Structure 1
Amino acid sequence: MKHRRNLFTGTRLRRAVTVCSAFGVVILIAVGFTWYSTGRDDATPENAAQADTTQPAPDGQPAPLQSIPPSAATASASASASAPISASASGPTSKKPTSGTTTKAVAKGDCVLPSYPTESCTGVPAGWSPKKTVEGDLTVTKAGAVISDQLVTGSIYVKAADVTIRRTRVYGTIDNFLGDKIFGHLTIEDTEVVPKPGEGVSSNQQYAFGVANYTCRRCKVMNRMEGWRVGASSFSGAGQVIIEDSYAQLAVPAGMCQSVDPHGDGIQGYGGPTATIRHNTIDQRGDDCPTSPIFIPDQDNAGGTVKDNVLAGGGYALRLSGGSFPTVTGNKIVTKSAEYGPIDVDCSKIGDWSGNAEVTFDFDRGVILKETKKLNDC
């Protein structure tokens, strides 16, 4: 960068020539002025650089509420995954976007492809503690309400539009299908449904998240027999469902398979609207009487997109037969984890079927170890 010349050069020069004639002084001043003016670099953006200093993002800043495009979810944050929130802290700061640029929501940094969601990078962040504890159920009746950093020992019942639930732990269910009406759009981020303290596996047979017109991003389900429900599309307020960058470890209490036989699912469609199921890890190996990690049967379901998921366990790990599935790609089934086989799908209802395979998988790190077999059935 050019340096500015000393403003006082002309002054010293004038002092040196005080014995000269007025005409000489005028000439020297003119020369000094010309030299100073041509030597300056007024285009140097010193003030502009100071105005454009990087501003650190608030720690744990959530991803934008609008649904994120597949490219953002995979190139990433989830955010979880959602980088928006990481398991421990926000990611490194970056320069503010210039005018005309846009930012994309992304999954948490250690969950992005080619990695997959794990227990540690979904749900509430590491070291989290609630700012508020609600004993029993919480019913939300205010439109646009934001529920954040809460522990709810019962269930959250959403009875208002445009509610957001963020960084919250729940022992019961999060449900927006009440009184024959769907209350949406509901956004759920960095939130988990887990057993009560001292209860290793939840005995609750209700789904953890449901049922329509909601987005669940970087959500976590632990030791529960039912994960997400996609349904009630014929009721008022129903709309599409997005489940992405999320993790579920499914299980049933000892002896329940013999007494109740609940046939749990990771994601179950029942009269469901269109669903986008993208970049999730669903582990059903702890359920001795399962149906499937993803189960969208011919029960008045609209179908949807099923992309880049890791699935383990179930009778079949991936069961798709109800509705239309324009994209079923990049799904990985853990080898020999399902009782009857990796997939049970109706190929006539599937558009793009590619990149699906059986693999070995490290659940702790969320990484594929080896592809063992391509699934080219469709």
Structure 2
Amino acid sequence: MVWPSPATTGVPAGWRPKETRTTDLKITRAGAVVKDIRLVNADLIVAARNVKVQRVELQGGSIINDSTSSCGNGLVVENVTLTRAPGRLTRNEDLPAIQAGGYTARRVKIDGRPEGFRVAGKSLNCGRVTIESSFARVVSPDVCGDWHGDGIQGYDGPPLVVRTVTLELVQRSSCGGTAPFFYPAGQGNTSVDVDGVLVKGGGYPFRLAMPGSVRNLRVVDRSWEYGPIDVDCSLVTAWDATVVTVGPDYQPIRTVRQLPCNTG
């Protein structure tokens, strides 16, 4: 298995936008295709169903599909890069890079943001979230406050499917986040189907307290503060996990040990 990295996700190498915007772009036509645009300090607001977003770069802005009373279900986001804005401080209240539900993300790169993928909007009839072949490196904000950053977080979350995703949490000692993967109980979440996730950093890199299956979980050795996992194992129907070392390209170098589900 080849794990996603900054070099293999986001807009393609050599990509150039056909348009650069510094104001929000709102999509209201069902089935619209948005591509080859750079947004600087501006959001992409999806207010229609079955929208496709391809080869788009957002510097500081977010992709938002819950701006109305329901989600823009059927949203597909492919080869998209979301980074911090040039010359602007990040803050703990910054929006997630992508929210809320009813979307599929493929080959997406999130790098340097305080929040990554949000899985939410179940109460707004937001549909399943699928994240595939994507990379998220979440970083402590410049202005910390009460930060609880995550690579993937469920809050009022519909069912979540994860396939071959790399998640890293980079935090300062004075500004700690939550976890690369966080799908907790008590927040209205549903279920997970995970097959292929590599996690690095945080107090516990992988935190799960809702029903589901977990296969091909790889936790980077000694990247945690408290322990490799925090899982309610009684709810997990399948489990396969190992502790690994990785190189700078996020590819595993060595399997350190098998990781049983022994928490919760």
**1:152 paired residue among 14, 35, 39:** 39
Matches within 5 A, 1:1-378: 113=1, 115-153=2-40, 154-171=42-59, 172-199=61-88, 202-203=90-91, 205-236=94-125, 238-254=126-142, 256-257=143-144, 260-286=145-171, 288-298=175-185, 299-322=187-210, 324-325=211-212, 327-354=213-240, 356-364=241-249, 366-378=250-262
Structure with greater helix share of residues:
1
Deviations 1:317-347 (A, max 9, x none): 000003x10x201111111111111100001
Q: What's the CA shift string for 1:178-219, capped at 9, x where partnerless?
A: 1221111100000011112235x7336210011111000000
> Which secondary structure state, in structure 2, belongs to the residue aligned with residue 360 of structure 1?
strand
Q: What is the percent sequence identity of the aligned residues?
A: 37
Deviations 1:261-317 (A, max 9, x none): 311011000110100012111111345411011100002111211221110011110
CA displacement 1:144-200 (0-9 Å, x = unmatched): 11001100120000001110000000121101011221111100000011112235x
CA distance in 2, matches of 1:251, 1:178: 26
Amino acid at match of 2:122: S
How many residues are aligned here?
256
Q: Identify unmatched segments of 5+ residues in structure 1.
A: 1-112
Work out which structure has the larger RCO, using CA pairs closer than 8 Å and 6 or more positions apart in sequence.
Answer: 2
The superposition leaves residues 227-264 of structure 1 with CA deviations (integer Å, 9 ceiling, x where unpaired) of: 0000111213x11000110011111234x34xx13110
> Is this contact kept in 1: 2:140–2:170, CA < 8 A?
no
How many angstroms apart in 1 are the aligned matches of 2:141 and 2:238?
Answer: 38
Secondary structure of the corresponding residue to residue 348 of structure 1: helix
- State TM-score, norm by structure 2: 0.93
State how far apart, in whole Å, the 2-side matches of 1:345 and 1:361 are.
23
Give the match for residue 76 of structure 1.
Answer: none
CA contact (8 A) 2:100 2:118 kept: yes
More strand by share: 2
If you compute each CA radius of gyration, which structure gives the higher value, 1 or 2? 1
Assess if the C-alpha contact under 8 Å between 2:158 and 2:189 holds in 1. yes
Return the alpha-carbon distance in structure 2 between the equivalents of residues 179 and 143 of structure 1.
14
In 2, Cα distance between the equivalents of 1:268 and 1:248?
12
Cα distance in 1 for partners of 2:127, 2:260 equals 32
Any runs of at least 4 consecutive aligned residues in structure 1 with deviations exceeding 3 A, and if so which? 201-204
What code does the residue aligned with 2:81 have?
E
**Do the aligned partners of 1:285 and 1:337 also contact (CA within 8 Å) in 2?**
no
What CA distance in whole angstroms lies between the structure 1 residues aligned with 2:260 and 2:95?
A: 35
Partner secondary structure for residue 7 of structure 2: helix
Q: C-alpha offsets along residues 89-140 of structure 1, whole Å, 9 cap, x if unaligned?
A: xxxxxxxxxxxxxxxxxxxxxxxx1x20010110001111101112211000
